[in-house]
Amino acid sequence: MNKIPLKGVIAYPVTPFDHHENVDIPLFKKQVERLVQSGSHAIAPLGSTGVLPYLNDSEKEALTEATIQQVAGRVPTLVGVSNLTTERTIYHAQFAEKAGATAVMIIPMSYWKLTDDEIVQHYDAVSSKISIPIMAYNNPATSGVDMSTTLLKRLLQIPNVTMIKESTGDVQRMHLLRKELGEEVAFYNGSNPLALAAFAAGAHGWCTAAPNLIPELNIALYNAVMDNNLEKARKIFYKQADLLRFIVAKGLPRSVKAGLDLLGVGGGAFRSPLKPLSDEEITELDSILSTIKGGVTV
Amino acid sequence: MNKIPLKGVIAYPVTPFDHHENVDIPLFKKQVERLVQSGSHAIAPLGSTGVLPYLNDSEKEALTEATIQQVAGRVPTLVGVSNLTTERTIYHAQFAEKAGATAVMIIPMSYWKLTDDEIVQHYDAVSSKISIPIMAYNNPATSGVDMSTTLLKRLLQIPNVTMIKESTGDVQRMHLLRKELGEEVAFYNGSNPLALAAFAAGAHGWCTAAPNLIPELNIALYNAVMDNNLEKARKIFYKQADLLRFIVAKGLPRSVKAGLDLLGVGGGAFRSPLKPLSDEEITELDSILSTIKGGVTV
Amino acid sequence: MNKIPLKGVIAYPVTPFDHHENVDIPLFKKQVERLVQSGSHAIAPLGSTGVLPYLNDSEKEALTEATIQQVAGRVPTLVGVSNLTTERTIYHAQFAEKAGATAVMIIPMSYWKLTDDEIVQHYDAVSSKISIPIMAYNNPATSGVDMSTTLLKRLLQIPNVTMIKESTGDVQRMHLLRKELGEEVAFYNGSNPLALAAFAAGAHGWCTAAPNLIPELNIALYNAVMDNNLEKARKIFYKQADLLRFIVAKGLPRSVKAGLDLLGVGGGAFRSPLKPLSDEEITELDSILSTIKGGVTV
Amino acid sequence: MNKIPLKGVIAYPVTPFDHHENVDIPLFKKQVERLVQSGSHAIAPLGSTGVLPYLNDSEKEALTEATIQQVAGRVPTLVGVSNLTTERTIYHAQFAEKAGATAVMIIPMSYWKLTDDEIVQHYDAVSSKISIPIMAYNNPATSGVDMSTTLLKRLLQIPNVTMIKESTGDVQRMHLLRKELGEEVAFYNGSNPLALAAFAAGAHGWCTAAPNLIPELNIALYNAVMDNNLEKARKIFYKQADLLRFIVAKGLPRSVKAGLDLLGVGGGAFRSPLKPLSDEEITELDSILSTIKGGVTV
C-alpha cells in the first residue's frame, strides 16, 4: 500500500438532487466523469461540498460506489466517512475500503467539543478496523475543534493516519505543521483562497471544489509550482482568485451548483433547507466566470 | 392550545447508555422522574445535554415516548426535534406531537450556514405540519448561525413559533430581544452562567441541565426573582455559580453524568467518541457539590 | 483614608474643545457642575470619555484642577492618570493627589502587550509614590491586555489598589471576580449596556458618561437596586437601554457631545481626527432622547 | 520625487535606553549602521519596534535626526510619525521631511475607533503639509481600526499616499488589495511569519525587525523571490521561520534587544513598564539563533 497516495489537485464533487430532493446518481456520475477527464489528480466524494452530513447511510453508500465505479481506477479516490459517533465512522470507513476507495478522510466532528484523548481514541478505533490510509482533517469552523500540532503529531503515530488536511485558513498553521511534524509531512490545503500561499509553503495537494468550474486554472497553478515558476504561479493564481473567494463566501454547494448550471452541465437541485443562490448572486458568478474564460490561455 | 406553555426552570435530562453504548431507557426514566419530583417546571429531552445529534431515529423516538410516559402530564414537555434537513425535522416534530409533547424545540442546524430566507422557510415548513408551539433556539456556537433580532421577529410571525431560547451567552442580546420584539416576548435563557442576569433582564424561563444535580438552588433562584427579591436571588445565584460554570466548561453530558454518579443516581455510560470526565475533574466536581450541599439552606 | 471611597453612579465628563481645538475649561466646568447638581455620586475626569490619550500634560493638569475646584468636595473625584510609561503615570498620579483628588484610575495601557509581572510592577511603582486609593481598570478592547482574576488578585495586594473597574462587557467576569476575589471585593461596572446585570451581580458602582444626558434614569436605576426592587430596576433599565446602546455604539465623546448640544448645554468641539456625529446619527439620538423624556416619571 | 521609493527588506531598528531609561543615541546609531552594512534596502526608525508611542517629542526628533545622519543617503529612510492627533502627526511629518526622510509611515491610531471619513481627512491634512511619500499602514491589532480595501482605495487618491503596509496577518488581504487596487499597487508586508506568502502574493517589500538578528536570511529570501526560485525561497524561509515566530510571539522590542545582547551588539535597556525577556525565553532565543547560525549557508 502506498501510504501517501494523493497529491496535486484533489477534486470534490457536489451531490446533486432531483426535484423530489432524492440523490441524482446519474448526474453525479456525469459530474465525476468531467472531473476525471479535466485532469484532476484525485476524486473526493462525500466532503463538505458533497453535503455529507445531510445524507443518510444508504445515500452515502450509493455515492461511494458510484464514484469508484465511475473513476474506475484512473485516479485515486478519497472518500469522506466522518460521523459524530465512532461506531458509524468505522462502519462507513469499512464500507469505503470494501468498495475500493484509495483512502478515507475523517474530520473529528464535535457537537460536544472533544478532548485530545477522545480524538486520538476515535482515529485509533477507526484505524484498527481498516487498512487504507486516513487523511485527518483539521477545520475548526466546521468541526468545532482546532487540532494542535501536538495532537496531529499523536495522530500521525496511528498506523493508517498518514495525511493531514488543514483548513483553518491561516497559512502560518501550515508553516508550523512543517516545522513541528517534519519536512516530509504530507499536508494538504483545504482553504481555496490560500491555494498559492499553501503551495508556496510546501503543500502536497489542494483539496478543492473549484475543478467543477475552472479545472484548467487549478491544475495550471499546481503545474507552475511544480515547475518552480513563482511568477507564473502568481499570475495564474490571481486569474482565479475572484472565483475562489466567491465560492467560499457563498458556500461551496450553492455556488458550485450554480456554476455547473451556468456551464450547461447541470448542478442538480438542493435538499432543504439549503436553497440555490439568488438571481443576483448567480449574475455575479456568471460575470466572474466570463471574465476568467475571456482571459484563460494558461 | 396555550401558545406559551413554558416558564420557570426547564430541566434537560441526559441520555444514559449501557456498556454496549445502547440507550438505557430504564435509567433515563428514573432520571426524568427525579427531575419531575424535585420540582422542575418542565422536562426537555433530546437537547444538547441529551446528545441528540449522536442518536438515530428510533432512539429519538424511544426517548420521546419514554419522557412523555414518565412525566405523565405532571408538567409540560419540550422535545428537541432539530435536524439538518427539513424533511427529518418535520418527521420528528410530527412524531413528538403524536406522542403527546407539549411543544418542540428547533435550532437551525447549519453545516452550511443558512441564509435568513432558508431559516424562515425551514421553520415555516415544520410549523405547517404540526399544531403545537415551537421554541426557536439561537445558539451560534452550536448551530453555526447567529439569528438576528430581525430574523427572530420574522420567525415569530410563523403561526406556531411562539418562544425564543437565547444562548449566545451575552445578556445584551436579551435586552435587545425585549426592546426589539416587545416587552411581552417569551424568551428563555439557555446559558447557565447567565441565569441571574437573564432573570433580571426578564427571561420567562431557564433551560438548564443543572436540576439533575442541584434542583433546589435552581428553583430557589427562580422563586426569589418571582418574589422580586434581588438580594436573595443574588445570594442564591452565587451559591450555585461554581457548579454552573463547571458544567458548562466541561461539557454538559460529561459533567452531569459524573454528578449523577457522585449523587448515587447513576449517570449511565457514554457513546464514543465521548468519554467520561477525568478522575481529576470528577474530584473537582465532587468538591463543588460538597461545598454547595454544606451550605444549602435556601 | 477611606480605602473604598466610591459607590453608585460615577459620572464621566467629556473634554470640550473650542474651535481652535484648544481645551475649553469654562465649558468643562459648566458640564461638571451639571453632573454634580443632578446627583451623580462621584466625578471622574480624564477617562476615555474625556479623551485622555489625546491631551498633553498641561491640558491634563488643567482639567484635573478644574474638576477638583468645581466639585469642591461635594462628591468624591476619580482622576484618570493612565499613561503608556510608568514614569508619566507616576507623574500624573502625584499631580492628582496634590491637587486633591479622592482616588485615581489606572488602566495598564499596552502598545506592547504587558506581561503579568510588568503590570504588577507598574501598579506597584505608582502605588509606592502616592497615598490615595487606585482603581485598577480592566478593558482589553482599549488596553490590549485582559487582566485575569489571578492577576487582579495580585494587584489587590498592592497597598493602594482597592477597587476594580471591569469593562470586558461580559457579566460572567463580574461573577468570577466576586467568586475568586471574595464577596467584599469592590468592583465597578464600566460597560453601559450591562448596567442592570452588573448591579444584579453586586457591583459597587457604575462608571458611566450617561449622566451627562439622562442622570435621573441612571440614578433611579441605582436606587431601585438599593431598594431591592428588581421589577422597578428592570423597568427603569429598559427605559434607558436604547440610549446606553447608542452612546456605546457611536463612541462616547461623539454621542455625549451631540446629546449635550441637543439638550442646549453645549458639548464643545472636537480635536482632530475625531469629528462630530453625522446629521443622521444626531437625528437618531434626538429621537431616542425625546422618547425617554416623554416617558420619564421614575 | 520617486513616488514609490521603497522595496525589498525594510529594516526596523529598536530604540535602546540607558539605565536611567533615557534614549541611548550612540548605541542606536551603532545598530542603524549594522542594518545598513548588512544589506537592508531601507531603514525605518520610530515604528512599533522602536516603541514610538513611549517616546516624547524631543526623543522622536533626536532619533529621526540620528537615523538620517547615520544612514547618510546610502539607502532610503522611512520615518514613523503616527500620532493620535492630526496636529501632532503633521508636526512630526514636517519634522521628518525637513530632516531629510525619504518617506513617512502613518498608521491611523485610534483610541476611539475612527470613521472612514475621519481617516481620510487625517491623511489628507497631513499630506497637504508635506511633499514626500506616505506609507499608509493597516494593523487593526495595534490601531484598533481595520481599513477596508475601499478605504485604502480612497487613501491612495490623496497625492502623497502611494504605499500600503498590510499587517493583519492574513495573506488573503494582500490578494484582495492586489485585485481591488490594481496589479501595480505598492503593498508591503508587515507580518513576519507571512514573509514567504506575502512575497508569493506579490509584495513590494517586507517591513521587519528581523534584520537586526538575521539579515542574511531575510535578504536571501527576497533575492530568491526576485530570482523566481520558489524552491529556494521556501527553503530559506523555513530556516528563519522559528525566529520570525519567536520575535512576534514575545514582542519585537523585547526579543530583538535580547538577540542583540546575545550577538554581542547590545540591545540597550527598556523603558518601564516594558521589561526584558525572562531568562528562560532568552535561552530559547539563543537556541533558535544557534540552530540558524549552524545551518546558514544561503
Distance CA C155, CA C162 (A): 9
Is A114 in Cβ contact with B274 (below 8 Å)?
yes
Distance CA B201, CA B178 (A): 9
**Distance (Å) of CA C67 to CA A214, C131, C205:** 68, 20, 20
Q: Which of D27, D183, D204, D201 is CA-nearest to residue D103? A: D204
Helical (H) or strand (E) element with B81: none
A neighbours by CB contacts (3+ pairs under 8 Å): B, D
**Residues facing residue B77 across a β-bridge:** B43
D196 lies within 8 A of chain A by CB: yes
Q: Which residue has the cell 413559533?
A: B161
What distance in Å separates residue D197's CA from the closest CA in chain A? 5
pLDDT digits (tens, 9 = 90+) for B168-208: 989 999 999 998 888 888 999 999 999 999 999 999 999 99
Q: Which of A125, A167, A164 is CA-nearest to residue A145? A: A167
pLDDT digits (tens, 9 = 90+) for B222-281: 999 999 999 999 999 999 999 999 999 999 999 999 999 999 999 999 999 999 999 999
At residue B298, the pLDDT reads 47
In single-letter form, the type of residue at position C195 comes to: A
Q: Write out chain B residues lying below 8 Å of C200, CB-based.
A: 196-197, 200, 230, 233-234
At residue A298, the pLDDT reads 47
pLDDT band at B294 (very low <50, low <70, confident <90, very high): confident
pLDDT band at B296 (very low <50, low <70, confident <90, very high): low
Which of B191, B223, B230 should we substitute to test contact with C (largest number of C Cβ atoms within 10 Å)?
A: B230
pLDDT digits (tens, 9 = 90+) for C130-139: 999 999 999 9
Q: Walk me through the domains of chain B, giving residue ranges and CATH numbers.
A: 8-295 (3.20.20.70)
At residue C295, the pLDDT reads 64
Give the residue-averaged pLDDT of C258-266: 97
CB interface of D with C, residues 8-37, below 8 Å: 21
At residue D298, the pLDDT reads 47
**pTM here?**
0.95
Is C194 in Cβ contact with B241 (below 8 Å)?
no
**Distance (Å) of CA D286 to CA D260, D267, D298:** 11, 14, 20
A and C touch with 3+ CB pairs <8 Å, answer: no
Nearest-by-CA chain D residue for A173: D193
At residue A38, the pLDDT reads 97
Helical (H) or strand (E) element with A140: helix A140-143
Please give the backbone phi and psi of residue C89, each rounded to the nearest 5 degrees, phi first: -65, -45
Q: Is the peptide bond before D273 cis (omega within 30 degrees of 0)?
A: yes
Is B273 in Cβ contact with A87 (below 8 Å)?
no
Is C275 in Cβ contact with D121 (below 8 Å)?
yes
Q: Which residues, 6 or more positions from A297, have their beta carbon under 8 angstroms from its beta carbon? A: none
Nearest-by-CA chain D residue for C20: D87
Residue percentage of chain B with pLDDT more than 70? 98
pLDDT digits (tens, 9 = 90+) for B134-161: 999 999 988 889 999 999 999 999 999 9
pLDDT digits (tens, 9 = 90+) for A34-85: 999 999 999 999 999 999 999 999 999 999 999 999 999 999 999 999 999 9
pLDDT at C9 over 90: yes
CB interface of C with B, residues 155-184, below 8 Å: 169-172, 175-176, 178-179, 183
Q: Write out chain D residues lying below 8 Å of C87, CB-based.
A: 21, 271-272
- pLDDT lower than 70: segments of chain A: 1, 295-298
Which of A48, A51, A60, A85 should we substitute to test contact with B (largest number of B Cβ atoms within 10 Å)?
A: A85
Please give the backbone phi and psi of residue D9, each rounded to the nearest 5 degrees, phi first: -95, 110
Strands D161-166 and C187-189 come out as: unpaired
C and D touch with 3+ CB pairs <8 Å, answer: yes
B and D touch with 3+ CB pairs <8 Å, answer: no
Q: Write out chain B residues lying below 8 Å of C236, CB-based.
A: none
Distance CA A91, CA A129 (A): 9
Angle at B204 between CA B199 and CA B206, to 5 degrees: 65
Is D169 in Cβ contact with A175 (below 8 Å)?
no
- Find the CB nearest B230 among C193, C194, C228: C228
A100 lies within 8 A of chain B by CB: no
Give the residue-averaged pLDDT of B31-42: 98
Instruction: Kindly list the averaged pLDDT for each block of 10 residues, start to end, along chain D of length 298.
Output: 92 98 98 98 97 97 98 98 98 98 96 95 98 96 90 96 95 91 91 97 97 98 98 97 96 98 97 98 98 72
At residue D16, the pLDDT reads 98
What distance in Å separates residue C106's CA from the closest CA in chain D? 13
**Residues facing residue B166 across a β-bridge:** B138, B189
Give the residue-averaged pLDDT of C274-282: 98
Is C84 in Cβ contact with D115 (below 8 Å)?
no
At residue D295, the pLDDT reads 64
Is B275 in Cβ contact with A87 (below 8 Å)?
no
SS3 at position C165: strand
At residue C235, the pLDDT reads 97
What distance in Å separates residue B141's CA from the closest CA in chain A? 8
C-beta of residue D117 within 8 angstroms of C-beta of residue C270: no
Other C-beta atoms within 10 Å of B21: how many? Answer: 16
Q: Which residues, 6 or more positions from D63, have their beta carbon under 8 angstroms from its beta carbon? A: D15, D23, D25, D28, D45, D46, D50, D55
Nearest-by-CA chain D residue for C57: D56
Residue percentage of chain C with pLDDT more than 70? 98
The DSSP letter of residue D22 is -
pLDDT at C281 over 70: yes
C275 lies within 8 A of chain D by CB: yes
Q: Write out chain A residues lying below 8 Å of D245, CB-based.
A: 172, 175-176
Written as one string, the DSSP assignment of C217-246 is: HHHHHHHHHHTTBHHHHHHHHHHHHHHHHH
What distance in Å separates residue C85's CA from the closest CA in chain D? 6
Written as one string, the DSSP assignment of A8-54 is: EEEE-----B-TTS-B-HHHHHHHHHHHHHTT-SEE--SSTTTTGGG
Distance CA B238, CA C180 (A): 11
Q: Write out chain C residues lying below 8 Å of B175, CB-based.
A: 193, 196, 237-238, 241, 245
Strands D103-106 and A205-208 come out as: unpaired
Q: Which of A27, A104, A105, A40 is CA-nearest to residue A71? A: A40
Which of B54, B106, B117, B142 should we substitute to test contact with A (largest number of A Cβ atoms within 10 Å)?
A: B54
What distance in Å separates residue B105's CA from the closest CA in chain A? 17
Residue percentage of chain C with pLDDT more than 90? 92
Which of C54, C59, C60 should we substitute to test contact with D (largest number of D Cβ atoms within 10 Å)?
A: C54
CB interface of A with D, residues 218-257, below 8 Å: 225, 228-231, 233-234, 237-238, 241-242, 245
Q: How many CB pairs under 8 A join B and C?
A: 75
Is B21 in Cβ contact with A51 (below 8 Å)?
no
- Find the CB nearest A230 among D228, D237, D245: D228
At residue A296, the pLDDT reads 53
**Residues facing residue A200 across a β-bridge:** none
Is B273 in Cβ contact with A121 (below 8 Å)?
yes
Is C274 in Cβ contact with D118 (below 8 Å)?
yes
Distance CA B119, CA B124 (A): 8
- Find the CB nearest D85 among C48, C111, C272: C272
At residue C298, the pLDDT reads 47
Q: Write out chain B residues lying below 8 Å of C197, CB-based.
A: 171, 196-197, 200-201
Q: Which of C130, C72, C120, C121 is CA-nearest to residue C97? A: C130
D neighbours by CB contacts (3+ pairs under 8 Å): A, C
At residue A295, the pLDDT reads 64
D275 lies within 8 A of chain C by CB: yes
Nearest-by-CA chain C residue for D254: C112
C93 lies within 8 A of chain D by CB: no
A186 lies within 8 A of chain D by CB: no
Mean of per-residue pLDDT scores for chain C:
96
Give the residue-averaged pLDDT of C262-278: 97
At residue A143, the pLDDT reads 85
Least confident of A2-6, C181-185, C199-203: C181-185
Q: Which of C158, C159, C190 is CA-nearest to residue C173? A: C190
- Find the CB nearest C272 among D21, D48, D86: D86
Which of D271, D274, D277 should we substitute to test contact with C (largest number of C Cβ atoms within 10 Å)?
A: D274
